[in-house]
Amino acid sequence: MDQLAGNNHNGVALLTFREMEILSQLAEGKTSKEIAEHFSLSKHTVDTHRRKMLKKAGCKNTVELLSKSSQLGLISPL
């Protein structure tokens, strides 16, 4: 996947604004529970966003997602 955020061109999967917010929090080392409390969401909702991001990015786990996001410049380098 060439990019995760931005305009949807040629079927490239994009992250929503909320997914970007959650990605940012994950990059800071926050847990799903902490992120849920921060955004007044349920932990289940945060976990659902995380699963959707993994699928869009073609990643197997959050570490891989963060690494790919860092390489693409979506988050600060780890």
| DSSP letters for the chain | ---SSS---TT-----HHHHHHHHHHHTT--HHHHHHHHT--HHHHHHHHHHHHHHHT-SSHHHHHHHHHHTTSS---
Structural domain count of the chain: 1
The answer to whether residue 59 is domain-embedded is: yes
- Do the domain assignments include residue 41? yes
Supply the range of the domain harboring residue 53.
17-70
What's the confidence (pLDDT) of residue 78?
62
User: pLDDT (tens digit, 0 to 9) for every residue of the chain, 78 residues total?
Assistant: 445 655 554 444 589 999 999 999 999 999 999 999 999 999 999 999 999 999 999 999 999 999 999 998 888 876
pLDDT at 77: 75
- The enclosing domain of 62 has a CATH number of 1.10.10.10
- pLDDT, position 76: 84
For the question of whether the overall pTM of this predicted structure is more than 0.85, the answer is no
Does residue 29 sit within a domain?
yes
Whether 50 maps to a domain, the answer reads yes
Q: Do the domain assignments include residue 58? A: yes
Answer whether residue 43 is part of any domain.
Answer: yes
